[in-house]
Amino acid sequence: MALPGGDPAWLAALRRTALAAYREAPWPSSTRDEDWRRTSQIDKLDPANFAEPSSDQGGRLPPYLQLALDGPLTSGDVSAVLISDERGNLTAPAPASSGATPVAAELAVGLAAEPAVWQSLAGVVAPPGLRKWISLNTVRSRGGACLHVGRGHDPAGYVRLIHGVGNGSIGFPRTLIKLDEGASLTVVEEWVSPEGDPGLLAPVVEVELARGAHLTHLISQRCGDQTVVQSTVRALVGQEASYDVRWTMLGAAWQKAYFEVMMTGQGSETTLDGLCVGRGRQHFDIQTLQDHIAPGARSDLLYRVAVAERSRSVYAGLIRVEEGAQKTNAYVQNRNLLLSPVAKADSNPTLEILANDVRCTHGSTAGRIDDNQLFYCESRGIEREQARRLIVEGFFADVIDCFPVGNLREATRGFVLEGLEALARSGALASPTRHA
């Protein structure tokens, strides 16, 4: 597998290393590997189960990608759009240029234009061998994006990345983001696939923020109901830099996602806010790491989950404070709302603290809709189903309200409301909560 037009030598070498690492690592096991203990359908990830991508990159966008492109996240503020599927980058409409410095480039174009920049980032932030699926992405990625903002730049608007997979194939988008000192950027990523398509989307995102840089990163996963998602987002956050990640997980048959932030610079800040709505037999397994390497950094994580019908959520979040990372302030909160008697939520927020002058806290809750709240609504003439829906909306509201950038916030709210609408249609919100 190579980039269109061939791999540069360093990338070919990286791919070889990754292939060796992929072959060497044993296939994960849900009994042996803590990572996979609560997600047992690992065998469905076998690459042999998926169709080889076609080599034809021409023609019109597949309808599901066109739909995403024209969706609520489109707006006049978009400075660039990059689209990829299993075949690699696809022709996107010409981005409205935001200035002289090209910020966003297709993977192959970006790697060719600034080899020195990307060689020190690709496979470094997310090294092959860390996990089998990072290795495989490194071996096989053909499309994605290179986003580089030069020192002190703050390009107007935001960059849109749409990564999809179709035809029962595997998509390996690779996104590389580098912000030089004092630079800022907002990136909106969408992970999509057609309904009923049994594909696998396995994106890897590598981020490096230099001193004082600021990245806002939204991820909206709205894959089709048969697709499997296996993703990694990994970032190095430098001195006084800040990283805002907001993820919304709504689609896919099941998803295993890693969000890993290394606080390498003193005084760096990270905010991770996520939400997830599960229905049918959906399974979401989200794993987060806030690794405090440098002192004086702050990281906050807020993850809200509503599981309906037979869906299941698994969350594992580690705050690790390395030796010497004094004055760390780290927080994790995971709240789970159980909307059906057969939905499941596992929560495992963990702490590993090797420094003493720290403030590290986590909280986790699981519960159903509060009867008092329901009673309050019903006593005001709101029907039970409507009341339940309002309460679920309210449950997500404070996470969504904190989303930066107005139109992105409202678009995200729209996706969540759509999800709740679908739940209401299937009767999941009306289901009786009382037991015998």
Binding positions for other proteins, rule: CB under 8 A = 34, 323-324, 326, 336, 338-368, 433, 435
Encoding tokens for residue 275? 């939400």
149 versus 369: smaller Cβ distance to other proteins: 369
Q: How far apart (Å, rounded) are the C-alpha atoms in residues 344 and 234? A: 27
Closest C-alpha to 113, from 146, 90, 152, 144: 146
Minimum distance from residue 49 beta carbon to other proteins (Å): 29
Minimum distance from residue 433 beta carbon to other proteins (Å): 7
Per-residue b or e along 325-355, where b marks 16 or more CB atoms closer than 10 Å to that residue's CB: bebbbbbbbbbbbbbbeebbbebbbebeeeb
Minimum distance from residue 426 beta carbon to other proteins (Å): 17
Q: Which amino acid is at 332?
A: V
Minimum distance from residue 377 beta carbon to other proteins (Å): 19
Q: How far apart (Å, rounded) are the C-alpha atoms in residues 256 and 435? A: 32
Encoding tokens for residue 199? 């594909």
CB-count exposure of residue 218 (10 Å: 0-12, 13-18, 19+):
buried
DSSP letters along 351-415, please?
EEE--SS-EEEEEEEEE---HHHHHHHHHTT--HHHHHHHHHHHHHHHHHHT-SSHHHHHHHHHH
> Which 8-state DSSP code applies to residue 34?
G
Minimum distance from residue 313 beta carbon to other proteins (Å): 10
367 versus 394: smaller Cβ distance to other proteins: 367
CB within 8 A of 98, min separation 6: which ones? 79, 80, 155, 156, 157
220 versus 340: smaller Cβ distance to other proteins: 340
Q: How far apart (Å, rounded) are the C-alpha atoms in residues 302 and 277? A: 15
Minimum distance from residue 357 beta carbon to other proteins (Å): 5
Minimum distance from residue 356 beta carbon to other proteins (Å): 4
184 versus 326: smaller Cβ distance to other proteins: 326
263 versus 405: smaller Cβ distance to other proteins: 263
Encoding tokens for residue 230? 């296996």
55 versus 356: smaller Cβ distance to other proteins: 356
Radius of gyration of the chain (CA): 21
Minimum distance from residue 360 beta carbon to other proteins (Å): 4
Minimum distance from residue 57 beta carbon to other proteins (Å): 45
Is-contact 177 206, C-beta < 8 A? yes
71 versus 280: smaller Cβ distance to other proteins: 280
**Partners of 269 in the β-ladder:** 242, 298
231 versus 313: smaller Cβ distance to other proteins: 313
364 versus 386: smaller Cβ distance to other proteins: 364
222 versus 362: smaller Cβ distance to other proteins: 362
Q: How far apart (Å, rounded) are the C-alpha atoms in residues 71 and 74? A: 6
Minimum distance from residue 345 beta carbon to other proteins (Å): 5
Is-contact 227 252, C-beta < 8 A? yes
